[in-house]
Amino acid sequence: MSEYINILLYIQIGLSGLCLYRIIRGPTIPDRMIGIDIFGILVVGICAIISIQTERSFILDIGIAWIILSFIGTLTLAKYLSGKKLNE
Amino acid sequence: MNNLNNMITIILISIGVIFNILGCIGLLRLPDAYNRLQAATKCVTLGCCSILLAVVFHFGISDAGAKAVIAIPILFFSSTVAAHALIRGTYHFGVKLSDRSVKDDYNDAIK
C-alpha cells in the first residue's frame, strides 16, 4: 500500500514540474498565469497524498489555505489582465 | 474491512492522478491559451477532488476527514470561478485564438 502511494506521489510532483515548464516557457502572459493557477490546484493534491502517507491531519490545513490564497491571487491577476482598477 | 478501505483509497487516488496526467498533457500540448485552460482546469479540479475523497475514505469520521469534506466544495467552486475570471481577462487582454479555431461567439456577444 505505502509503496504504491509513494509512486503516485512522485507522479503528482512530476506533474507540477510540467506546470513549471509552462510557467517559464509560456509564450504570452496569460499562459503563465494559467500555469500558476493549475500549479496551485496540484499542490492541494500533493498535500492530500502526503497527509494519507504520514497519518497527520494538519497538512490538509496547508492545502485549504493554499486554495483560498490561489483563488484571491488569480482573481487579482484576472482584474489586472482585463485592464480595470481593483475597486471596479 | 481494513483491506477494503485501503483498496478504495488506492483506486480513488489512481483515478485522480490519471485525471491530473491528462490535464497536464493538455496544458502542455494544446495550441492556444483558451484551449489550455479549458483542458487543464476541468481535469485537474476533478482529479484533486477525487484525491480528497480518498482522504475522506481513509480517515473516516475524524478531524482529517472533516477537513477534507470542507476542502472539496471550496476547491470545486473557487477553481471554476477563478478559471472563468481568468479566461475573461485573457480575452480582454487581446490574446489571439489559434489558427485552427473555427468560431468566436464571444466576440459577437460583447459588441
Q: What does the alpha-carbon distance between residue A60 and residue A66 come to, in Å, rounded to a whole number?
A: 10
Q: Are A30 and A81 in contact (CB under 8 A)?
A: yes
DSSP type of residue B27:
H
Q: Is the pLDDT of residue A18 over 70?
A: yes
Nearest chain A alpha carbon to B89: A82
Is the per-residue pLDDT at B6 higher than 80?
yes
Assess whether pLDDT exceeds 90 at residue A65.
Answer: yes
Confidence band of B1 (pLDDT split at 50, 70, 90): low
Q: Place B109 in a pLDDT band, splitting at 50, 70 and 90.
A: confident
Q: Which of A12, A13, A54, A75 to mutate to test the interface with B (most CBs of B within 10 A)?
A: A12
Q: Of the candidates B46, B28, B48, B44, which has an alpha carbon nearest to the alpha carbon of residue B36?
A: B28
> Is A86 a domain residue?
no
List the alpha helices (DSSP H) in chain B.
2-29, 33-59, 63-93, 105-109
Residue A15 lies in a domain: yes
pLDDT at B111: 75
pLDDT mean across residues, chain A: 88
| pLDDT, average across residues A57-64 | 91
User: Which domain, by its residues, includes A72?
Assistant: 2-81
pLDDT of residue A27: 84
Which range scores top for mean pLDDT: A25-29, A52-56, B101-105? A52-56
| Least CB–CB distance from B86: residue in A11, A34, A68 | A34
pLDDT of residue B25: 92
Q: Does A88 reside within a domain? A: no
Q: Which residue has the higher pLDDT, A87 or A53?
A: A53
Q: Is residue A71 part of a domain?
A: yes
Q: Would residue A87 count as lying in a domain? A: no
Count of domains for chain A: 1
Reply yes or no on whether the pLDDT at A85 is more than 80.
no
Residue B9: its chain A contacts at CB < 8 A? Answer: 52
Task: Find the angle CA(A46)-CA(A52)-CA(A56) to the nearest 5 degrees.
Answer: 100
Residue A77 belongs to a domain? yes
State mean pLDDT over A21-47.
89
With a cut of 90, say whether residue B19 has pLDDT above it.
yes
Dump pLDDT digits (tens) for B28-83. 988 888 898 888 898 999 999 999 999 999 998 888 899 999 999 999 999 999 99
pLDDT of residue A57: 87
